Amino acid sequence: MDTVRRISCFCYRNGQLWAENVPVTRIAEHAGTPTYVYAAEGLRAQYRTLATALSSLPTTICYALKSNSNLAVIRIFAKLGAGADVVSEGELRRALAAGIPPNKIVFAGVGKTKSEMAAALTARVLQFNIESEPELIALSEVAGTMGLTAPVALRINPDVDAGTHDKISTGRKGDKFGIDIAQALHVSQLATKLPGISLEGMAVHIGSQLTRLDPYRTAYARLAELVMALRQNGIPIQRLDLGGGLGVPYRNEVLPSPADYATMVRETVGQLECDLVIEPGRYFVAEAGILLTKVIYIKEGTSRRFAIVDAAMNDLLRPSLYGAYHPILPVNEAEPYTPLSPIDIVGPVCESADILATQYSLPPIAAGDLLAISMAGAYGAVMASTYNSRPLVPETLVDGNKMAIIRPRPSLEALLAADHIPTWLN
Ligand code: LLP
């Protein structure tokens, strides 16, 4: 009988790591390494879990494309009925190209340009999340010129510490995001007067990778108070965008369940009878992705052992940028009771920060072995670059026993062809 040990959507079967019904070694042969691998059923399962928990609330789920914007990934969520949270014209185009209906698209982001506003107005998006007075005025001007009315939600900064990593906290006074809650009435009054603007909602997003509900509870309660104050001032608010941020278990953290989240939403804003929008990204995609990499060399230093692998900080930036932890699985499972020893997993990039894991306990590994850097489906491929002239990392999708490369590895010729030497240098 198969020995099956479940690790999110990636399981060991008879000592080999599989992605759904495809052995990971076969993916490495097909796509080469490094490559991201996503498990379609894993993506669907996460979406359905959250959608079910929220089913009794009038919620539009707008998948935050920034977490993983491959068209095939977006298409999976589009087919499940998702909307999209986009933050640039590029993301807007991706959402539309993947089949997300425009009336389920929220255009967020602190610095939308006028041409991006025009593109989103032309597409007829559900709402613009506006983060400052000048941005509101710019949108009014663009909509006026086009003879259209822009549906607007004001993103409020509720001054709540999300209790997450400093670099992904967004709802504290002093963070660049949102309109200070103390200025919300004034900006709302302006929004009701400006031509081309229809003020429909309020929005908050206090940060990413939240592992507790209480910061949400505080933020949503402040939002509810604000909505009541606005209504008393004759400003009707019918939609609330509750942001994203639901955490995932990188280190086996015990996290609030989607049902607990839904209960808290009902308790804090349920009585307002608003339509709701939420914008999760990471929750849907993190666990369903691995970064598959091959060991190039094992370097035995005098004080440290290094596995130099073919993936690097340009392919997965999170460890270098945030000190993030990603569990690592050898594709060949070690025999039970094999002793583990610490090793640094590093890439070939010429930076000391190019570390994927520090002093990670692994069974013996050798050059040529495959490793899966797990929980890498969110903020992995989207944050990749070509630093050190390394071609952009490819992406592969597995769905049951099907496998497809959903973004091929660019050739070095394509990499070089992007640059132009001006004729005066000839
Ligand atoms: N809505 C807004 C307005 C956001 O700024 C974000 C994330 C989301 C929704 C989605 O948040 P999520 O559900 O994915 O937590 N690169 C970082 C994460 C940056 C998040 C930026 N904003 C990382 O790798 O952890």
Is residue 3 scored above 80 in pLDDT? no
Residue 255: its pLDDT value, please?
96
Ligand 1 mutation pick, 63, 66, 77, max ligand atoms within 8 A of CB: 66
Q: Measured in angstroms, how far is the CA atom of residue 65 from the centroid of ligand 1?
A: 9
Q: What is the pLDDT of residues 68-86, one digit of tens each?
A: 999 999 999 999 999 999 9
Is residue 1 scored above 80 in pLDDT? no
Is residue 4 scored above 80 in pLDDT? no
Is residue 2 scored above 80 in pLDDT? no
pLDDT band at 6 (very low <50, low <70, confident <90, very high): very low
Ligand 1 atom closest to the Cα of residue 281 is: 14
Task: Give the percent of the chain with pLDDT over 70.
Answer: 98
344 token code pair: 């640094």
Is residue 122 scored above 70 in pLDDT? yes
Is residue 135 scored above 60 in pLDDT? yes
The residue contributing the CA closest to ligand 1 atom 16 is 379
Report d(CA 397, CA 74) in Å as an integer: 12
Average pLDDT over residues 148-170: 90
62 is catalytic: no
Which residues have C-beta within 8 Å of that of residue 417, sequence separation ≥ 6? none
pLDDT band at 7 (very low <50, low <70, confident <90, very high): very low
Q: Measured in angstroms, how far is the CA atom of residue 309 from the centroid of ligand 1?
A: 28
Hey, which bits of 142-301 come out as E strands? 150-157, 179-180, 197-203, 239-241, 275-278, 289-300
Average pLDDT over residues 354-369: 98
Q: Measured in angstroms, how far is the CA atom of residue 195 from the centroid of ligand 1?
A: 32
Whether residue 410 is preceded by a cis peptide bond, meaning omega within 30 degrees of 0, is no
Ligand 1 atom closest to the Cα of residue 205 is: 3
> Helix 184-193 to helix 214-232 angle, to the nearest 10 degrees?
50
Name residue, tokens 């909505």. 227
Residue 173: its pLDDT value, please?
83
Do 284 and 322 touch, CB atoms closer than 8 A?
A: no
DSSP class of residue 310 equals S
Q: What is the pLDDT of residues 220-257, one digit of tens each?
A: 999 999 999 999 999 999 999 999 999 999 999 999 99
pLDDT band at 29 (very low <50, low <70, confident <90, very high): very high
Do 143 and 130 touch, CB atoms closer than 8 A?
A: no
Q: Which residues line ligand 1 (CB under 6 A)?
A: 64, 66-67, 85, 108, 168, 170, 205, 208-209, 243-246, 279-283, 318, 322, 379
Average pLDDT over residues 365-377: 98
Ligand 1 atom closest to the Cα of residue 317 is: 24
Report the Cα–Cα distance between both ends of the chain, in Å, rounded: 68
Task: Give the percent of the chain with pLDDT over 90.
Answer: 93
Ligand 1 atom closest to the Cα of residue 318 is: 24
Q: Measured in angstroms, how far is the CA atom of residue 169 from the centroid of ligand 1?
A: 9
* Residues forming a β-bridge with 309: 295
Report d(CA 298, CA 107) in Å as an integer: 46
Average pLDDT of the chain is 96
pLDDT band at 108 (very low <50, low <70, confident <90, very high): very high
pLDDT band at 167 (very low <50, low <70, confident <90, very high): confident
Q: What is the pLDDT of residues 279-336, one digit of tens each?
A: 999 999 999 999 999 999 999 989 999 999 999 999 999 999 999 999 999 999 999 9
Catalytic residue among 9, 11, 274, 350: 350
Residue 8: its pLDDT value, please?
60
Do 165 and 209 touch, CB atoms closer than 8 A?
A: yes
The residue contributing the CA closest to ligand 1 atom 7 is 208
Residue 174: its pLDDT value, please?
81
Residue 5: its pLDDT value, please?
40
Q: Measured in angstroms, how far is the CA atom of residue 221 from the centroid of ligand 1?
A: 21
Q: What is the pLDDT of residues 378-419, one digit of tens each?
A: 999 999 999 999 999 999 999 999 999 999 999 999 999 999
Ligand 1 mutation pick, 176, 208, 240, 317, max ligand atoms within 8 A of CB: 208
